[in-house]
Chain A
């Protein structure tokens, strides 16, 4: 397989065997329990699930987390015990110990196989113990890693209050904006005080779990364009979920939320704004522009703002320009990250991705295609459900400057002289919006900078000769 076969100018999707390494989707409890402050996540599964969570989340486990395992024992599997009574016992204990506003049951492979009717039991138990119970089937039979969040948010979407089409009296509280604009170093640009015209503007709800500072950064960017974000799914607290219904516009901030998008459209009758995702300054600008165009707002000063961010990245861009990247694929952020890195001047050989929703990611794919055209590079191959073994063989051929990969492969690849960046870090770092573009490059360039500082030593191949054929 030579490089010639790797590239083309049209967008093509390949599909491999699905033998790849990724995190189990139950890992979403790690960030969701922190995001939704009054929640409790109960993972109904076996020791295997528990062992994964405990090892993957490391020290977090010791900080009295608001999640736990309902560990299934042999009696549960063979139905000698009554599932309903067992879950009731555990949930009452959780209510007593932690008093959460919502308990989220995470269904796992085992509950799927033994066909435990979590969705059926939840409404009954909810009434009995007087705490909302949300059921999400985030299992490894159907989903990969970040898709876990998708299943939880899709289930939460049903719990958002119904939107009544009356005008909310919103206080025009943009003091902060004035304060901000007065010192912005862009004296000659066309920034002006935004006029928020609440009366004519439909409501916008953004979906996707991001840290609260990222949420306020993104809301602020839209506010600069006179667009008011009326709520986030998920909100900081379960009790503050945003109203949804006909007439509400929704827009995703993460590429892995296709079920949530579908649920919002079909079940909650919201209008979905299909935009590229606000990852990288190019993505953020395209995301804002798309929202503006839907709301009939002419974007103000976006081009300058993007340029200003790019100018701030110059030192990092010099490091990455012309370098090649190989995405093994495990968290569905790959298309957006690849698009950003191509814009940064990198060459992407392959974009592995667990699952590709061509409709939900349509705008992102279009932007990828456009970016490749603009930068004069061929469109990389997109490999859905990749096969890690084959990928390693391809990497041996291509010798990329950087492999973005899971932790299972990182050390062995490093030992063979291929620089790696753990993909999981992109899931936990702040990567959205203009403000955080630098953080993405901070991650991407870290192995490159490390290489520069160790360059003189000449110890790259650290496996014995006969083992070199990976």
Chain B
């Protein structure tokens, strides 16, 4: 048993549901007790989804404990098949069903006989993998299932496209700025004259998965999700993949150069010419993106040697560490990740870009580390933002887990050239800089006069007794002033001088406040 207040990565089934509900017309059925469908709330609230989340539960209740699910799961699958006609139904085990050890595969086999939809059982073990690992597996499983199916039916679409094309793998729902990143990647590829063959899973159709082998290569922008699929496609179809995250100027250039190398393997044969993206990289880096210029500008001089801490998933923590350290001259005192399963890769990547490395999924360890190294800014998840609030250190959010404010309506990619601009803003705004910094140092603060009352004049002749004072303090801060004013107004109107709890309630009723 582990005493836990907070976790970075969610349980396995969340990963499966994120992949399943990202595809078009795929429905997931969880084998779970009442209340485990919290995923629907997250998707509906965080992503502000307009459509009903295609996830339902086949409820595990007391009766199921007593006599097994029996027909229930099969009935739920066939019912959903009739109601919504999905292409695919993914039966998703949860922690509860992991322990029950029912033969879910058997239910799937039975249900697929009577359903028009395809039915598969997500192959994830709750106690072995977390949300991200489960998402990676589920995506690979779905892709494998449909490519096998296409091969059996002889509908596999294997010939490569005439012009260079790629699949983008790993964009999905509830991902950190994934929608914006996807748009930015498409824009970048368009600039390079590369077609986008398929984007999976977000918005993809399972029927189109058989077209995956048509692309020249696969792009895996995020380390956590998509790598297994890319490796599978490489093994089965010899498709190369690029798993460099184009986040930051240097990494984006590396990403484009790697794509160039892969394309030039086929380009002379299929299109009769080689591609060369160097001038594009140069143009973008120096003039289109503002980030390179920003690093040279005197603003950024003040960043030099400032201490920062980075923590997040492997993709974003690695990229951010490298950006801060090699593109902005910031001193990353500690870089960390909660993806313990990928610790070796993480350590290898950030080696040389930071003073120390922390791999943990315990947020108190992260908090202690931040308190110890006292950075000028933190770049982390929402948890680090809260640690920063407590310690009075500014924090830029660069990674999941996230809150609703990390699903902005405006265009905020982290990848590509526009991403570098966004990151530069984020970094710059996170530090207190320039003149302000100097003045704070010289004068020791903006306004050292202590604030006693919020209002500028004190004219109250009313006497609050101890209980009503206490009651007033229980009222949330942001309405307390209003309640206080209303109560006093009411007391004056009624010629009272002493304010008791009863007066407060009476005032609330009388003034409809």
Contact = CB atoms under 8 A, between A and B. Distances in A.
A21 B45 CA distance: 14
A45 B51 CA distance: 31
Interface in B123-164: 126-128, 130
Interface stretch (A195-203, A372-380, A409-417, A450-458): A409-417
B5 A56 contact: no
Interface in B1-51: 1-7, 10-11, 13-14, 32-38, 40-42, 44-45, 48-51
B296 interface: no
Contacts of A73: 1-2, 127
B63 to A, nearest CB: 9
Interface in A85-138: 86-87, 89-90, 93-94, 109-110, 112-114
B386 A77 contact: no
Main secondary structure of the interface of A (DSSP, over half): helix
B184 to A, nearest CB: 24
Interface stretch (A64-72, A149-157, A319-327): A64-72
Contacts of A183: 491, 494-496, 503, 506
Given A48-B95, A113-B65, A76 B49 contact: no
A50 interface: yes
A179 B465 CA distance: 12
Contacts of A220: 501-502, 505
A410 to B, nearest CB: 7
Contact of B50 (A56, A76, A411): A411
B471 interface: yes
B261 interface: no
Contacts of A22: 34-35
A24 B33 CA distance: 9
A415 B50 contact: yes
A28 B398 CA distance: 32
A293 B190 CA distance: 79
A69 B471 CA distance: 32
A287 interface: no
A50 B35 contact: no
Q: Identify the interface centre among B61, B496, B498: most chain A CB within 10 Å of its CB.
A: B61
Give chain A's interface residue range (CB within 8 Å of chain B): 35 or more
A245 to B, nearest CB: 30
Nearest to B10: A51
A457 to B, nearest CB: 17
A87 B1 contact: yes
A109 B60 contact: yes
Q: Identify the interface centre among A55, A73, A213, A412: most chain B CB within 10 Å of its CB.
A: A55
A217 interface: yes
Nearest to B64: A141
B44 A18 contact: no
A37 B388 CA distance: 27
A144 interface: yes
Contacts of B35: 22-26, 52, 140, 144-145
B11 A51 contact: yes
B1 A65 contact: no
Contact of A90 (B1, B56, B61, B403): B1
A141 B36 CA distance: 10
Nearest to B125: A74
A428 to B, nearest CB: 12
Contacts of A411: 44-45, 48-50
B50 A463 contact: yes
B37 A61 contact: no
B456 to A, nearest CB: 29
A74 B127 CA distance: 6
A77 B127 contact: yes
B59 A18 contact: yes
A183 B6 CA distance: 51
Given A74-B127, A183-B506, A217-B505, A408 B1 contact: no
A30 interface: no
Nearest to B127: A74
B65 A141 contact: yes
Given A113-B99, A142-B61, A309-B509, A412 B50 contact: yes
Contacts of B48: 411
A180 interface: yes
Contacts of A72: 1
B371 to A, nearest CB: 15
A71 B52 contact: no
B142 to A, nearest CB: 22
A212 B53 contact: no
Contacts of A62: 383, 386, 389
B41 A407 contact: yes
B500 A70 contact: no
Contacts of A76: 1
Contacts of B60: 109, 141
Contacts of B457: none
Contacts of B494: 183, 185
A81 interface: yes
Interface string B85-99: 000000000111001
Nearest to A312: B512
Nearest to A177: B502
Contact of B95 (A47, A70, A112, A409): A47
Contacts of B508: 435
Contact of B83 (A56, A70, A389): A389
Interface string B63-104: 001000000000010000001000000000011100110000
A25 to B, nearest CB: 7
B57 A70 contact: no
A467 interface: yes
A56 B38 CA distance: 8
A21 B510 contact: no
Contacts of A407: 41, 44-45
B1 A212 contact: no
A409 B33 contact: no
Given A434-B509, A467-B51, A90 B3 contact: yes
B235 interface: no
A49 to B, nearest CB: 8
Nearest to B43: A408
B62 interface: yes
Nearest to A424: B41
Contact of A140 (B34, B41, B83): B34
Contact of B503 (A145, A179, A415, A462): A179
Contacts of A3: none
A21 B57 CA distance: 9
A211 B476 CA distance: 12
A171 interface: no
A385 to B, nearest CB: 10
A58 B502 CA distance: 34
Contact of B7 (A54, A141, A176, A463): A54
28 contacts: A20-B34, A24-B33, A25-B35, A48-B13, A52-B35, A52-B36, A54-B7, A55-B38, A58-B403, A61-B6, A73-B2, A76-B1, A77-B99, A109-B95, A112-B65, A113-B96, A179-B502, A180-B502, A185-B510, A220-B501, A308-B509, A408-B37, A409-B44, A409-B52, A411-B49, A412-B44, A434-B509, A470-B52
Q: Give the top 3 A-B pairs by smallest Cβ distance, nearest first.
A: A24-B35, A140-B33, A180-B502
Given A58-B403, A74-B128, A109-B95, 13 more contacts: A23-B35, A47-B126, A48-B13, A55-B42, A62-B389, A73-B2, A113-B96, A140-B35, A180-B503, A220-B505, A309-B509, A406-B41, A408-B37
Interface of B: 1-7, 10-11, 13-14, 32-38, 40-42, 44-45, 48-53, 56-57, 59-62, 65, 76, 83, 94-96, 99-100, 126-128, 130, 383, 386, 389, 403, 471, 474-475, 491, 494-496, 498, 500-503, 505-506, 508-510, 512
